[in-house]
């Protein structure tokens, strides 16, 4: 339709941005990921992150709102925006009258020049008068006007489907929906020429759309999973620390000298771990096993990674296979495939204590919760919070483990 960029938002959610990003890439249109924030005590606004740090702040804000509410809901308040809007382009929506005080407050929360006032023209009765009123308010507040289209479907022919979805959301029959349905079918994507005709008296509102698109350069392709920071000695790296730890423990495992065959396997595995960036993952599991051993909880590493010589010398597992599956191309992920390795900690006793150790290690050292994934043997393999397990009256099953790696969220 002539657009070179497209911004789409969900209400208090980023759930659709990945699909939108992929669809836009196929059609060679630049996609601007963003979110519509519906606040409990203030008018709604659109936010478009300009960089990765801003996107992270937006994700944390939505997490805060969803933790407060029941599943499927999100409770956000104006005070939650403090420190969040930096790095975003903010569009104050004008579906309902916007107080001058609210616009002033947004100007203090957003970066200089990154706030706009939304203007729509949906060919309804009074649309021209309302547009003139919003333009005057924007001029008085010294905030640029920007043209938005409140898009709910791509073509007018999809309006009936949108009406049906509205009735489902509202729990009513279509003949009883009344003013809960839109007055016309104008909330569709429009060509630049169509928009220019609608905003012929406010060309600056269309110019502003291009300015926002040029400023918001954040792209979802820049994101990748990053394992939480691992506590390591100052001046070292996870890989260097794992390597030194492995050779130190190897000397303990083999007091008469590390056999040449084991030494060769260790060298290959350490090199592979470094190539794939898995060192923090191995250090995390090592810490959990060390703490379990300190408390006298018997446990045993299992899985393809646990068959490695590295896990053997670190004490994660008590045996070593000279033809370890760990380095085999059949079971260990190639760099291009990013297939997860597996490593389990199995205990014949003290399963709850072992679980508490794992959650404590992850939390106390700043690694965050949950780990890549935390399946419990005999239960659904989903990540569960420590709080939910603390409320259980029956002990969990006997095995704790991770099926994932720094390159996979699980």
CB 393 within 8 Å of CB 350: no
- Give the model confidence (pLDDT) of 251-300 as tens digits: 999 999 999 999 999 999 999 999 988 899 899 888 888 888 888 877 77
- Give the model confidence (pLDDT) of 180-225 as tens digits: 999 999 999 999 999 999 999 999 999 999 999 999 999 999 988 7
60: Cα within 13 Å, side-chain hemisphere: 12
In the chain, where are the structural domains located? Answer: 5-151+189-222, 238-403
Q: Domain 5-151+189-222 is of which CATH architecture?
A: Alpha-Beta Barrel (3.20)
CA distance 198 to 191: 11
- Give the model confidence (pLDDT) of 5-29 as tens digits: 999 899 999 999 999 999 999 989 9
Q: What is the mean pLDDT of the chain?
A: 81
pLDDT at 241 over 80: yes
pTM for this model (two decimals):
0.69
How many Cβ atoms sit within 10 Å of the Cβ of residue 121? 23
Identify the DSSP state of 162: H
Which residues are CB-contacts of 130 (< 8 A; sequence separation ≥ 6)?
none
- Give the model confidence (pLDDT) of 337-381 as tens digits: 444 455 556 555 555 555 555 555 555 444 444 444 333 333 333
CA distance 333 to 190: 46
CA distance 89 to 245: 47
Residue 343 has what pLDDT? Answer: 58
CA distance 295 to 316: 15
């Amino acid at each position: 339709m002539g657009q070179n960029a497209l911004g789409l938002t969900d209400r208090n959610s980023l759930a659709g941005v990945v699909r939108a990003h992929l669809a836009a890439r196929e059609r060679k249109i630049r996609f601007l990921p963003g979110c519509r924030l519906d606040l409990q005590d203030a008018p709604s606004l659109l936010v478009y992150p300009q960089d990765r740090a801003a996107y992270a702040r937006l994700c944390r804000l939505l997490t805060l709102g969803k933790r407060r509410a029941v599943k499927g809901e999100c409770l956000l308040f104006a005070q939650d925006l403090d420190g969040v809007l930096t790095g975003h382009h903010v569009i104050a929506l004008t579906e309902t009258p916007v107080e001058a005080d609210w616009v002033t407050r947004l100007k203090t929360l957003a970066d200089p020049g990154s706030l706009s006032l939304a203007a729509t023209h949906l060919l309804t009765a009074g649309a021209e008068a309302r547009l003139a009123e919003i333009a005057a308010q924007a001029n008085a507040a010294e905030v640029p006007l920007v043209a938005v289209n409140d898009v709910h479907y791509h073509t007018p022919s999809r309006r009936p489907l949108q009406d049906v979805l509205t009735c489902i959301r509202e729990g009513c029959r279509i003949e009883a929906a009344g003013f809960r349905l839109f007055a016309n079918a104008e909330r569709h994507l429009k060509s630049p020429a169509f928009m220019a005709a609608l905003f012929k008296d406010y060309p600056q509102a269309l110019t502003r759309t291009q300015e926002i698109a040029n400023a918001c350069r954040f792209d979802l392709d820049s994101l990748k999973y990053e394992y939480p920071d691992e506590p390591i000695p100052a001046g070292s790296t996870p890989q260097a620390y794992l390597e030194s730890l492995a050779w130190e423990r190897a000397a303990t495992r083999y007091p008469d000298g590390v056999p040449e065959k084991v030494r060769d396997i260790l060298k290959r595995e350490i090199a592979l771990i470094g190539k794939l960036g898995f060192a923090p993952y191995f250090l995390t599991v090592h810490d959990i096993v060390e703490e379990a051993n300190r408390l006298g909880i018997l446990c045993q590493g299992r899985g393809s990674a646990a068959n490695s010589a590295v896990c053997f010398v670190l004490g994660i597992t008590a045996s070593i296979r000279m033809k370890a599956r760990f380095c085999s191309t059949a079971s260990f992920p190639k760099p291009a495939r990013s297939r997860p390795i597996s490593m389990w900690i199995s205990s014949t006793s003290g399963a709850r204590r072992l679980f508490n150790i794992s959650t404590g290690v992850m939390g106390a050292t700043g690694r965050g919760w949950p780990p890549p994934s935390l399946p419990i043997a005999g239960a659904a393999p989903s990540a569960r919070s420590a709080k939910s397990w603390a409320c259980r009256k029956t002990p969990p099953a006997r095995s704790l483990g991770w099926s994932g790696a720094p390159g996979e969220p699980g």
